[in-house]
Amino acid sequence: MKKKFWAVGALTAATLLASLTACASPGTSSSSSTGASEWPSQTASLKGVTLTLWAAQTTTAEAKTVISGFEKATGATVKVVTIPDPYEQNVETKIATGAKPDLAFWQPTASELATINPGQNLLSLNDAPWLSTMTPGINDVGGTYDGTRYAALVTSPSLMGVYYNKQVFAHAGITTTPANWDEMIADAKQIKAKTGIAPFYEAGHDQWPTQYWVQVQLADASKNGLWTDMNSRKQTFSDSTILGAITNYDNLIKQGLFNSNIKTATFVQQGQAMLAGQTAMVVQVNAYLQELQASADTAELNEKVGWFPISPNGNTATSIPDQTNAVVAFNTGNAKQEDAAREFLEYWMGKGYASFISSQGTVSVESSVPNPSGVPDALVAIQKAVPGSAGSMQSLAVANPDLYINLADMIQGTKTPQQVASTTQQQFDQLANAQGVKGF
């Protein structure tokens, strides 16, 4: 009897130990297949190879044309696995437990690449053959971490800027788009006085759009090294640059320049308001244009909606490439799979690119591939503003704190601008510290 008891005890201990050691070191079994210098031919035969591509709900169909073209050309199979939202979080969790796809859509910003430990988990694309064919300026916008390129930018990176209703502008007697921040605010006041329409529309309930109002105000500072200073803690969110932008945003809301239902308004309503002419301007990213495209065709969009970049001193846009813009390849430790993943990206950015952007109805990031017809004017304006744009917090800061949640709290009245800044900084410190950044 005693023996049996001990057997059970030993089994218990063994299982416990096994699970402890199994969990203690996720992803330490790395192979050193980084920076392989030979790139396969775009259509070399891959019979019998199956590639897995992780996608979010918004990107699950994005690669459809590319995949069918690639499968025909190479004989490979590409399986798209849709990871439920919140996508980034679920992918991180999966990777932390040791699961890896061959490829995945991923936000090509330094802060978001950092969360999947790219040096360990991703393939370097430093010498990818398509990089030289990219439209000048696009490569600068994202996809690198610590000087190594990990993400292929497949579509024009998302930019923060101002969407405006051309009819409301005309109604208020405004004929040219503002050339800087002060002009934009002056236009807003004119619109309110002449038409009674809320000049700005913010989706306070959905929280995430709130950060763009602060970030566009940081565009000029970003070009002057704001985020480098933030990354070494020479500056903080509570210093005048960022706190000033937050306070400014708060003041504009208090002056009544925003929609009266700012606390409960959603992203969808933000889109409807623009098309219905119930607001003049919305500060948003490319996802907003996709939302507008879902309920209006190109002709209607071109008639009603325009886009201009804004920054305090001029018209510098702020870039925030997102998960729909880029794909990363994983270091799976299996050379054959890794080569196949590289070949897939090469095909995507090569032979498959023209049909890809035409199926997506989006603009090209390669100089040699022209834009397909039927792309809205606003998107072409965005494409033109990419070179020379400033980097966002997500792109240039070492960490991406929940600035948007804290700003949404400010809109709800539970945080002051000072509290928004200090809470965000606290989280920023915590995230930077976890990464072992010097000075935190």
Residues that bind other proteins (CB under 8 A): 1, 4-5, 8, 11-12, 15-16, 19-20, 23-28, 30, 86, 88-89, 92-93, 95-96, 114-117, 120, 205, 207, 261, 263-264, 401-402, 405, 408-409, 412-415, 423, 426-427, 430-431, 434-436
Spatial separation of the C-alpha atoms in residues 43 and 70, rounded to whole Å: 7
The Cβ of residue 16 has, within 10 Å, a number of other Cβ atoms equal to 10
Q: Which two tokens stand for residue 338?
A: 């890794």
Q: Decide: helix, strand or coil at residue 122.
A: strand
- Give the residue with the Cβ less far from other proteins, 102 or 409: 409
E strand or H helix at 176: none
CB of 426 to other proteins, least distance (A): 6
Shortest distance, CB of residue 172 to other proteins, whole angstroms? 27
- Kindly tell me the sign of the dihedral angle through the C-alpha atoms of 122, 123, 129, 131: positive
Nearer to other proteins by Cβ, of 232 and 416: the residue is 416
Closer of 14 and 81 to other proteins (Cβ): 14
What contacts 350, CB < 8 A, 6 or more positions away?
A: 42, 129, 130
Cβ 347 to other proteins shortest distance, Å: 30
Give the nearer residue to other proteins in terms of CB position, either 308 or 404.
Answer: 404
Rounded Cα gap, residues 138 and 143, in angstroms = 10
How far is C-alpha 108 from the chain's CA centre? 7
Which residue number, 16 or 186, has a Cβ lying nearer to other proteins?
A: 16
Residue type for position 165? N
Nearest distance in Å: CB 10, other proteins: 11
**Minimum distance of other proteins from residue 260's CB (angstroms):** 11
Between residues 27 and 129, which has the closer beta carbon with respect to other proteins? 27
- For residue 285, the minimal CB distance to other proteins (Å) is 20
User: Residue 51 in 3-state DSSP?
Assistant: strand
Shortest reach from residue 56's CB to other proteins, in Å:
14
Tokens of 293: 């495209």
Q: Give me 153's structure tokens.
A: 């930018």
Residue nearer to other proteins on the CB measure, 1 or 294: 1
Concatenated DSSP letters of 6-32: HHHHHHHHHHHHHHHHHHHSTT-----
